[in-house]
Amino acid sequence: MHITIEEWSFWNIVVGIAISLLISLPFFFLLRKTLFLINSKNRKLPLNSLWLFIFPYVGPFYSLFLTMRLSESIDLEIQDRGILRKTRVLKATGVLHSAFSIYLVFFSSNQIVGMMSLCMFILFWIEVYRIFKFLSAPTQHSLK
């Protein structure tokens, strides 16, 4: 059986989209659950706009918007709960992931930048999870 270049490209795209969705879906559900834990008056990010993160040319810019609004929402929620702690790690990893993603999409597909973007995305995900656990805990003392 002989596979043409067009078929090969089609399957590369299909597999790429499938892998992207497998990685993105759990992250989106975590973001959604985290936003549900934030009081609606403190929530600066609409729940139904999270899916814009998936799209290739919109995603890197939306990631930056998401990072800033999510950090602001979490800071307001933490302040309302009487805790004086900021979400600097969340904001830093999110902004770096966005910057690397914008560079990858619009300027160069450098493998090193791609790995750095992936590492920042993983760190951002871990930080969102840590904040989710903090907000969902019955007693919150500190966000270390």
pLDDT digits (tens, 9 = 90+) for 7-65: 667 777 777 677 777 888 898 899 899 999 988 898 888 878 777 777 767 888 888 89
Nearest to 60 by CA among 126, 106, 21: 106
Residue ranges per structural domain of the chain: 25-136
Nearest to 78 by CA among 40, 135, 133, 138: 135
pLDDT digits (tens, 9 = 90+) for 102-116: 888 788 777 888 888
- pTM value is 0.79
CB 71 within 8 A of CB 91: yes
Structure-token match 């270049």, residue found: 5
Tokens of 71: 């950090």
Question: Is the four-CA dihedral 84, 32, 70, 47 of positive or negative sign?
Answer: negative
Q: Which amino acid is at 92?
A: A
